[in-house]
Amino acid sequence: MSLPSVVESCVPRDEVLRGGLVDKHFAAQLDQVIRGAVGYHDYADPDSFFKITHPTKGLRDLLAGTFARLSDNASAAPSAEHAVYRYETSFGGGKTHGLIALWHLASGARPSDLDDFIDPALLPDECAVAAVVGDSLDPINGLTTDDTTTFTMWGEIARQLGPDAWAAVRESDEARTAIGKQVWLDIIGDRPTVIVIDEIAQHLRLLATSGHEQSRDLAAQTIAGLKVLFEAATAAPRARIIVTLATGTEAFEAETAEVAKALREAEVEQLLSEAHDVMERPKGAVGRPAEDDEIGFILRRRLFAEVDENAASTAAQAYRDLYATLADQGVTVGGSATDDPAGYAERLRSAYPFHPALIDCLDKRIGPMPGFQRARGALKMLAEAVAALWRADASTPIINLGDLPLDNLTVRSAITTSIGREALDGPAVADFAASTSHAASVDNERWPAERLATRACRAAFCNSVAGGTQPGASSPDLYAGTLAPGETPEAVDAALEATSLVAWHLTYDGARWRFQVEPNANRIIASELSNVPNADITEELDRRIRRQFASDGPTKAVHFPTGPADVPDAEQLHLVVFSHEDLTVRAATAGEIPTQVVDVAHRCGTNEQSRTNRNAVVALVADADEVEPMRDRIRFELAAQRVTADSERLGQFDAQVAKTLRKLTNNAALESRIGITRAYTHLYWPENAPGNNHLRHLQLPYSDYGKTPNGSHTPVIVEALRSHGKITDTPPPTDLLADASGFGKVRTEITTAELAAMPWRGHRQKIVLNPTLVTQAISAGVRNGTWVYYDQEAQRAWGPDDQPPNVRTAANTLLYTPARAAELNLLRKRADWPAISAIVTSTAGPFDGASLRRELTTTLGGEPPKAEVLSALATAVRDGRRIAASLTSPTADTAPPQLSATEIEEAELDALYIYVPADSTQPPPKELRRITVEGETAGTVLRKLRDAVTDSDVSEITALTITASAEASQGTANVRALGYCASQLPRFECKITASLQAEFDGLQGGVTADLAGGITDWRRIEQTLLTLADLGSAVGGSFTMRLTPPAPIATDGTDWEQFRSVVANNNPVALRIEVEPAHSTPSGGAQ
């Protein structure tokens, strides 16, 4: 749901929009209104006053109860029967507003919106009214009005009630002696009379602490006079006394040391206690000017001319949905927002455009602070805030703590200077209240639209200025003061966490975030920045860049080349990282390929000849605008290390600061990493783009870059190339490979090694990092008839009708066009059992090897290799066919020893005699051969092994040999995974063979380990050796385990299943498994 901004839905009063309002605009002072003082028009003029006054329930009760009693209609209002009405203080201008409203109506004012405040029928035609304010009374100099001077409370009341009343008490006033009950009854008579006594507690303090004895005596007289006045009002049927006592208890407790001391004196405390007793004694009513849920109405009526109620309802519903969702998720939001989302949303609707969290903080946290003057301070601050927000055309959907424009000095001073917390002004400006603040920099980087860091800091700051035993904001406080619909608590947490890494005065104690005057760990480190030499920064940055963009798997990194000669011309992906000292670009012009990048992409060698493998070079260049921020992050990290490495210096700070310093030092390494990846964002790679030097540019996005604390960032570059289609994970199309090499057009044959080089040659090609993709493409080409594959070692060709070959890319494996293969007679039939059987069974006599080969040449249409014939004979013997081979020719009387399949494979064909044995001569028993399977994943290998064991009728196994490789892309993870298997197979004896090699950036040579022995001995050095290997820039090798059970295990037994399960669970990859069946020969080929 998209909410309108408050600027769109609300219209502030003109004087609020103009700004610059002074205290008296919000100072509802009863005595000034009564005396007609200049500058109080909004309060002294009834119509203006009632337009800015919200008719709270407390105000309506006060007016109804008072005027119902004065009209002798006590049944018309609940409190009308009480002659004395004690009016308690509250936030929002309610108390003094109520007294002024009462005075206006008692004085005869009848505003146009009277019905909103009281039933007009309750108002008497005429009424006597008097109102005194305690701090305006002066027992020494007196209070002069229209040439009449009064010295006491009763004297001032009588003066306002008329000449006759004043004449009756004048002498008592001058004598500072309270008058009796009858005098009051005579003054009041039966006419409607209302008397307001405001701020009497302050008057009593002044009297009790006076250095004038007569004034101190007057304090007791005043209390006695109040008692008599209350008794008289109770006896008079149409009189009411409105009295306030408690105002100022907090506001004056920190006035001056002298006053504070005076207030602690026993006699003053006794007087105030007696005054309270007097107030409590009559059966009077107690009223509150406003309840908490009415404060919002008061504020918005005072500050706004118009408020769109539809917008208020829409906002309330949106926030209700937000808090209900958070409640379901178990998140607590302060102010009962998640305890009662519906009730809180109603508070929000009535307070709109203000958020209840803002009102609660001003009311309960900042309001009680001495100097804030609660209602006046809040109204003045909010008026300036509204003026600033409207000037800025703010987009905020509501005005919350996080939305206060605390970058405005007037707004900020209202909650700092006014309460004696001006020392927090500097921290505010440094950390969040300026466009150059730390929170602003975090927002610019991560939350440029939401400004979440700044808003969360404002909420924390407003909860911090109050001080007290628990300054600052808890998470529920922050969520209440910051969150808007569509935002999450996690984002608020992240914003403050990010800000805390750079802010100078923001702290977190595990429960509350707060701002403090004292510098935090960030500021301590900042003071060390100037001591870090530039040379140290340059050296460390170069080292970090090399490490961050290191060689990774099939990708070779080339750092800081000075020219094309530094970049090899090879069939391997080269990531060329240019030094930011030599070359930078800016985002706006980065698409114009720099000359240095073009030279390295197209040329190679010291003579700068044309590069053959143009598709093998990608370049990474730094952004000019990010170089200094990158250096700053390195500078900060080095400064942090200097502080934390000095144990004596670290010991000067308290434990929490020292802990934070260590945390910042650790985090600084990650921030440096982020800074480097944010600088090195311009990637160039080969592309079919003639107009752009056959190069394409991409500015890598910032999202989540550098978030992994360790390891090379090179895989991110590779992934970017993959996501933009430059690197492929599928076999390249055979027609593209053929076109690129000229195969089939100008060439009838090509080596597989040359074909495999094609993806590295032309910029039109996609980069193939996995060489098996090329072999798969070659196999696909065999199947679809694009070419014929020929292996010179095996002296065999494979065409579309053959089982797919086990392709090798080498100089001695070739591809021929079908026509050329036919010309070379490469696709003749293979020597196999049916062909041999037809020849051998055609005559009873034996064949020597040479004769058999000649017969096969005729049958197959071409001469088969000797090895092919031997392999076919050995397979036939293994399969139990009725055929035999021996080294001597059989006769009618003698039967020479028959050779086993393995012996046939190792023999010379021309030395053999092949024949069909007589029926009485049994062929050698069927031989169980070793089974070898391999694959990229454990699951694939285990499935192959299961099928091979089943197909070979293997029922028992005597040993297993498992080999895993260590590769640069995975380090030693594969070796570790295979090693875990041994620990989970305790019934097997385990022997290992390890061959590991590691290279290290910046160092010549490498580390090589060739080890063999028992698993127990391996365990002693395993962790140390593998950890060392993982530190290398490149690692390779293999790890082999030979597992031998105490007795042969059945392939349908629990030991076999346990072995399969353990390997599957640990999942070593690039795996090879060899199984030795029971009764197998010492060696054999793969099946």
Q: Give the whole-angstrom CA distance, residue 41 versus residue 323.
A: 43
Amino acid symbol at 87 = Y
CATH number, domain 734-823: 1.10.10
Contacts of 688 (CB under 8 A, 6+ apart): 694, 763, 764
Note the residue count of the chain. 1087
Question: CATH 1.10.10 region(s) of the chain?
Answer: 734-823
Q: In this predicted structure, what is the pLDDT of residue 21?
A: 65
| Position 283 pLDDT exceeds 60 | no
| pTM of this structure | 0.50
Backbone φ and ψ for 610, nearest 5 degrees, come out as -65, 140
| Position 412 pLDDT exceeds 60 | yes
pLDDT band at 1036 (very low <50, low <70, confident <90, very high): confident
Q: Comparing C-alpha atoms, which of 334, 347, 331 is closest to residue 477?
A: 334
Percent of the chain having pLDDT more than 70? Answer: 90
Collapsing DSSP to helix, strand or coil, 759 comes out as helix
Q: In this predicted structure, what is the pLDDT of residue 22?
A: 58
| Position 575 pLDDT exceeds 90 | yes
Q: What is the mean pLDDT of residues 788-810?
A: 87
How distant, in Å, are the alpha carbons of 23, 40, 48, 66, 430 from that of 33?
15, 7, 13, 20, 43
Q: Are strands 555-559 and 573-577 parallel, antiparallel or unpaired?
A: parallel
Percent of the chain having pLDDT more than 90? Answer: 49
The 10s digit of each residue's pLDDT in 126-177 is 999 999 998 889 988 999 998 999 999 999 999 999 999 999 999 999 999 9
pLDDT band at 260 (very low <50, low <70, confident <90, very high): very low
- Please check whether residue 312 is in contact with residue 304, taking contact to mean a CB–CB distance below 8 angstroms: no
Q: Where are the beta strands (DSSP E) in 834-875?
A: 847-848
892: its two tokens: 């009618």
Q: In this predicted structure, what is the pLDDT of residue 714?
A: 92
Backbone φ and ψ for 966, nearest 5 degrees, come out as -105, 120
Q: What is the mean pLDDT of residues 890-906?
A: 87
Outline where 236-285 has alpha helix (H).
257-264, 266-280
Q: What is the mean pLDDT of residues 1006-1022?
A: 89
| Position 446 pLDDT exceeds 90 | yes
More confident residue, 357 or 968: 357
Average pLDDT of the residues of the chain: 86
Q: In this predicted structure, what is the pLDDT of residue 120?
A: 92
CB-based burial of residue 1023 (10 Å sphere; 0-12 exposed, 13-18 middle, 19+ buried)?
exposed
What are the contacts of 837-844 at 24+ separation with CB within 8 A?
A: 837/876, 837/881, 837/883, 840/883, 840/914, 840/915, 840/916, 841/916, 844/916
DSSP codes joined into one string, 684-719 = EEE-S-GGGTTEEEEE---TTTT-SSSS-SHHHHHH
Q: Comparing C-alpha atoms, which of 317, 319, 318, 311 is closest to residue 336?
A: 319
793: its two tokens: 């070692």
Q: In this predicted structure, what is the pLDDT of residue 366?
A: 81
The 10s digit of each residue's pLDDT in 15-69 is 889 876 655 556 567 888 887 777 677 788 888 888 888 888 888 889 999 999 9
367: its two tokens: 């309001």
The 10s digit of each residue's pLDDT in 235-244 is 888 999 998 8
| Position 922 pLDDT exceeds 60 | no
pLDDT band at 539 (very low <50, low <70, confident <90, very high): very high
| Maximum Cα interatomic distance, the chain, rounded to a whole number of Å | 167
Peptide bond into 846 cis (omega under 30): no
Q: What is the mean pLDDT of residues 256-278?
A: 42
559: its two tokens: 């750092």
Q: What is the mean pLDDT of residues 772-784?
A: 93
Q: Give the whole-angstrom CA distance, residue 492 versus residue 474.
A: 12
Q: Give the whole-angstrom CA distance, residue 422 versus residue 420.
A: 6
Among 41-45, 840-844, 1011-1015, the range scoring the smallest mean pLDDT is: 840-844
DSSP label at residue 1070:
S
DSSP label at residue 967:
B
Q: Are strands 584-585 and 617-623 parallel, antiparallel or unpaired?
A: parallel
232: its two tokens: 């008289």
Contacts of 893 (CB under 8 A, 6+ apart): none
280: its two tokens: 């409590």
- Please check whether residue 340 is in contact with residue 332, taking contact to mean a CB–CB distance below 8 angstroms: no
Contacts of 909 (CB under 8 A, 6+ apart): 849, 850, 852, 853, 866, 869, 870
| Position 398 pLDDT exceeds 90 | yes
